[in-house]
Amino acid sequence: MRCTFEAIREDTPGARWQGLFQLRWPAYQQWFLRDGHRARPSYLAGRRALRQHMPELAGLYQQLCELAGGGDLEARFLSQWCPPSYISGCSQAVWIDPYGVAGPLLARNYDYAPALLEGSWLSTRWLGRQVLAMSDCLWGALDGINEDGLAASLSFGGRTAVGEGFGIPLVMRYLLETASTTAEAVAILQRLPVHMTYNISLLDKHSHWATVFVAPDRPTEVVSRTAVANHQHGVEWQAHARATLSEEREWMLSQGVRKAESADDVLRTLLRPPLFQTAYGRGYGTLYTAAYHPQTLTAELLWPDMRWSQYCLDVQEGVLNMRFDANHGG
Amino acid sequence: MKDHTLVSGWLRYCRQWLLAWLQAAQQQTPKPPPRAAQGEHPMQKVSNISDLRLLFHRNERPIYFISATNFNLLGIDQWVNRFKYINYIDCFDGRHPNVFVPPQLPHEEFQSIEDINNYLLQHKDVVDYVERAGGRPVAVFLMFDAETERLCEELGIEVWFPSAALRERCDNKMETVRIGNKAGVPSVPNALCKVDSYAHLREIAAAHGLGEQLVVQTAFGDSGHTTFFISSESDFDRHAEEIIQDPEVKIMKRINCRGATLEACATRSGTLVGPLLTEVVGEAELTPYRGGWCGNEIFPGAFSEEVRAKARDMAYRFGNQLMAEGYRGYFDLDFLIDKDTDEVYLGELNPRICGASPMTNHAAFAYADVPLFLFHLLEFSGIEFELDVEELNARWANPAFIDSWSQLVIKHTANNVDIITHAPATGIYRMADDGSVSYHRFDYKRQDIESENEAFFLRISGPGDYRYEGADLGILITRGRSMTDDFALNERARNWITGIKKYYAAKPIMAVHEEQVPAPGAFKIL
């Protein structure tokens, strides 16, 4: 299985984003209608939710809807209001240099099915802030950093509960577009409804960091975990945790972070089993490791034998092809 | 020193005053643009029909009729500038300049016209259409509920009807009787009671002198669905569940009657009363429902002068009572005319426009003056008006202001389900001397029918739609009568119905999931 990673610069929504939409919409449409035609809320409900909870995004949303062809179904998908449920693997780590020499690091593994990765590392200035983020659901984000030095990433929280709220990628986008610091991002997460359970790691250039547990049916909780995988306080969905080795990964990663002497030590942990997963065929393979350095506004994508760096304020476009072995036993 | 303080104080005072004045001047809202530029008509007051025509001829506020089809307000767009139809079904295949039909989206199965309207109001293409047209939009509906009201508010659309809650109250058949009683408008001898059993029903009937043959109606319901004819215990047992579960039902003496309907509009100048229409009910060629409404006729000699005068007077008084109850605007009253005594009784109230509205709004008086619905728009427009309602009513009572038309609603009457492969297009059809029918030309204006040999057909079910028992196929509008003097379909009408139905072709359903087939009578269009 091949994944193409592409760094794309487009300050305001235009032809590039439209091209990405057209390329991926057929697959997303299938996914969006997975539970039948009737399961998703109306256009008006999605727009209402966006206007109420993320008013800053409302204008951008309308712009993207136009680029997507102006149709009802496309607009309902883009609102990300109560999308179909989705889950993934993922591990996240925050490392603060105990000697105060090196800048802080937010790193994560993104574990998922290769066929379902967008692979677009989008550099945008949609609302006036430069944002570099790994795109998901076409305008949402899996992880990223903005020009103020706020970095954020997500991992699935290991619960099946589904409720009325936004799909998490759009929430991540909203954080990166509107917040400058960890405190601001936490405040946003405390008021936004999300439709499933997720763990969000936040780090800003002042080395302020937080792990936020969000869920559709529980109040948002702010905890301090330098390492998180796919459960919150404890495993609640055994089958998922076992299949993705959630507890093992969390334990290994927390050890790795505690012992790390440098940011690279943390990254090495992420690039080795059990954190680096190879169950690509089952949909839990590690597709990339991302590293965000808020102080220098730099970001990297890493694989065991490859490293791709970018500077948030001057992203260099490029393409990288990766091959994953679907038959790997993992 | 003291002087200096005084002077500087005075100067400071002047400066402050000047600043405050400047600030106030800046804060003052800029002079509003002329009302016409805001989409408002500059007319201050409507005093006669010419004013009214001018008012709507120059209307700049977008007014939308949102409904399954545009049937009920067919032709109003020719009287009202910026009047548009937003519909679910495109009866015109995209050829009507004022009909907007958004691309169909998957949706929950509609249970009612309210569901269709709520679906339309959340559809992105409709939202875009309304928002891009700008102005201060107005909506009128055949049916709407609290959810419709909420959606309209969200979209900044003003609903020009009394509230759904008030409409529902007035729609309750028990309430109709009570409003009628207050207005001195009698219903057929009746009792409004909760019924526990057949014996109890008999007791009530005896106490009120209603006789052996009874008609029982529940509070809400469509024609033909919730009216039960009860002469024996077995009749009662068939409908016992529906009757007993209601907190109150209307128990009437059964009379040998003919139905008639009349539309009117309650305004602050008084109630305007349209012409009395006959009703076509339960014709087997048109509807599978016994007692179900399937059309109307209008013609000058339909009722005796006495009956017409009685019905008009009852509608006038009923409308004025509705105003007192808080309801205003368009409404429809059904009458029951006792064939044995010529007595006229109040039947039902439909607090809305309805299936008979196209007949009222295209009667000769409508062309001589304006369609009745324009008074409804006027009532809600916020424009001041004072009309000589007495004079208008007197004119409309004159048989010369009534010409002869009929409309027939053609439903699928067979008890099968299939998929339509071919359907007759909306337009004008011609009948040859041998009674055969052929398509002549596309049209969306029913008044373009030249003679009794032409008819306007509004297609509702088209290719790809399911044809099921009770599905509305289309509506046929003709000049002249469709019924005989004995109120059975006449031969010409039968030929028209056969001729139009012949254009429908369908194929059987192959392996279709049951849930996709609409349940018979799941919702009706009219």
Instruction: Out of A37, A72, A76, name the one closest to residue B125 (CB).
Output: A72
Structure-token pair, residue B376: 């409804």
Q: How far apart are CA B503 and CA B436, in angstroms?
A: 11
* Residue B136, C-beta contacts closer than 8 angstroms, at least 6 positions apart: B39, B61, B156, B158
Model confidence at A3: pLDDT above 80: yes
Q: How far apart are CA B351 and CA B331, in angstroms?
A: 5
pLDDT value of residue A1: 77
Model confidence at B441: pLDDT above 60: yes
The lowest-confidence range among A225-229, B494-498, B507-511 is B507-511
CB A270 within 8 A of CB A133: no
In chain A, % of residues over pLDDT 90: 78
Q: Which is more confident, B40 or A33? A: A33
Model confidence at B294: pLDDT above 50: yes
Model confidence at B400: pLDDT above 80: yes
CB neighbour burial string for B233-245, b if at least 16 within 10 angstroms, e if fewer: eebbeebbeebbe
Q: How far apart are CA A175 and CA A188, in angstroms?
A: 7
Contact yes or no for A44 and B106 at CB 8 A: no
Q: Which residues of A touch B122 (CB under 8 A)?
A: 42-45
Q: What number is the average pLDDT over the span B414-436?
A: 95
> Which CA distances in Å does A163 have to A110, A218, B89?
24, 10, 34
How high does pLDDT run on average in chain A?
93
Closest CA to B461 of B450, B474, B475: B474
Q: Count of H helices and E strands in chain A?
A: 9, 15
3-state helix/strand/coil string of A256-301? HHHHCCCHHHHHHHHCCCCCCCCCHHHCCEEEEEEEEECCCCEEEE
Q: Which residues of A touch B110 (CB under 8 A)?
A: none
Rg of chain B (C-alpha set): 27
pLDDT value of residue B492: 95
A30 touches chain B (CB under 8 A): no
Query: Which residue of A33, A37, A44 to mutate against B (max B Cβ within 10 Å)?
Result: A44
In which band, very low, low, confident or very high, does the pLDDT at B520 lie, cut at 50, 70 and 90? Answer: very low
B123 touches chain A (CB under 8 A): yes
Closest CA to A79 of A139, A124, A31: A139
Closest CA to B243 of B200, B274, B304: B200
Contact yes or no for B122 and A43 at CB 8 A: yes
> Which CA distances in Å does B178 have to B182, B193, B205, B250, B336?
6, 13, 19, 11, 17
pLDDT value of residue B518: 47
ipTM over 0.85: no
CB A105 within 8 A of CB A263: yes
Per-residue pLDDT of B81-136, as tens digits, reads: 999 999 999 999 999 999 999 998 888 888 899 999 999 999 999 999 999 999 99
Structure-token pair, residue B447: 């008044």
The whole-angstrom distance between residue A180's C-alpha and the CA centroid of its chain comes to 17
Model confidence at B76: pLDDT above 90: yes
Q: How far apart are CA B10 and CA B362, in angstroms?
A: 75
Per-residue pLDDT of A122-155, as tens digits, reads: 999 999 999 999 999 999 999 999 999 999 999 9
Closest CA to A79 of A137, A11, A24: A137
Per-residue pLDDT of A4-16, as tens digits, reads: 999 999 999 999 9
Q: Bridge partners of B277?
A: B261
Helix (H) or strand (E) holding B374: helix B373-381
- The conformation of residue A201, written as its DSSP 8-state character, comes to E
pLDDT value of residue B292: 84
* Residue B305, C-beta contacts closer than 8 angstroms, at least 6 positions apart: none
Helix (H) or strand (E) holding A240: helix A238-244
pTM of the model: 0.85
pLDDT value of residue B13: 64
- The conformation of residue A149, written as its DSSP 8-state character, comes to S
CA angle B480, B481, B482 (to 5 degrees): 130
B125 touches chain A (CB under 8 A): yes
CB A202 within 8 A of CB A228: no
Q: Which residues of B touch A33 (CB under 8 A)?
A: 106
Q: How far apart are CA A203 and CA A182, in angstroms?
A: 6
Instruction: Out of B103, B106, B124, name the one closest to residue A43 (CB).
Output: B124
Q: Which residues of B touch A81 (CB under 8 A)?
A: none
Minimal C-alpha gap between B167 and chain A (Å): 26
> Which CA distances in Å does B247 have to A330, B210, B219, B244?
67, 20, 9, 8
Query: Which residue of A43, A61, A82 to mutate against B (max B Cβ within 10 Å)?
Result: A43
Structure-token pair, residue B91: 């009866």
The one-letter amino acid at B147: E
The one-letter amino acid at B490: N
Model confidence at B516: pLDDT above 90: no
Closest CA to A146 of A164, A122, A165: A122
Smallest CA–CA distance from B121 into chain A, residue:
A44
Query: Which string of DSSP letters, residue by residue, matches B154-200?
Result: HHTPEE-SS-HHHHHHHHSHHHHHHHHHHHT-PBSSEEEE---SHHH
Contact yes or no for B122 and A44 at CB 8 A: yes
Closest CA to A326 of A115, A27, A119: A115
Q: How far apart are CA B469 and CA B413, in angstroms?
A: 5
Instruction: Out of B105, B151, B155, name the one closest to residue A72 (CB).
Output: B105
Pair type for strands B83-87 and B99-100 = parallel
Question: What residue has token string 């890493």?
Answer: A302
Question: What residue has token string 């207005």?
Answer: B183
Q: What number is the average pLDDT over the span A116-121?
A: 90
B105 touches chain A (CB under 8 A): yes
Largest CA distance in chain A: 56
pLDDT value of residue A89: 77
CA angle A252, A256, A259 (to 5 degrees): 140
CA dihedral B190, B191, B192, B193 (to 10 degrees): -150
- Give the three-class secondary structure for A325: coil
Contact yes or no for A72 and B151 at CB 8 A: no
* Residue B284, C-beta contacts closer than 8 angstroms, at least 6 positions apart: B413
Does the CA dihedral B343-B349-B350-B351 come out positive or negative? positive
Q: Which is more confident, B275 or B24? A: B275
How high does pLDDT run on average in chain B?
89
In which band, very low, low, confident or very high, does the pLDDT at B522 lie, cut at 50, 70 and 90? Answer: very low
Q: Which residues of A touch B154 (CB under 8 A)?
A: 44, 48
A25 touches chain B (CB under 8 A): no
pLDDT value of residue B523: 46
The lowest-confidence range among A44-48, A73-77, B27-31 is B27-31
Q: How far apart are CA B189 and CA B347, in angstroms?
A: 11
A45 touches chain B (CB under 8 A): yes
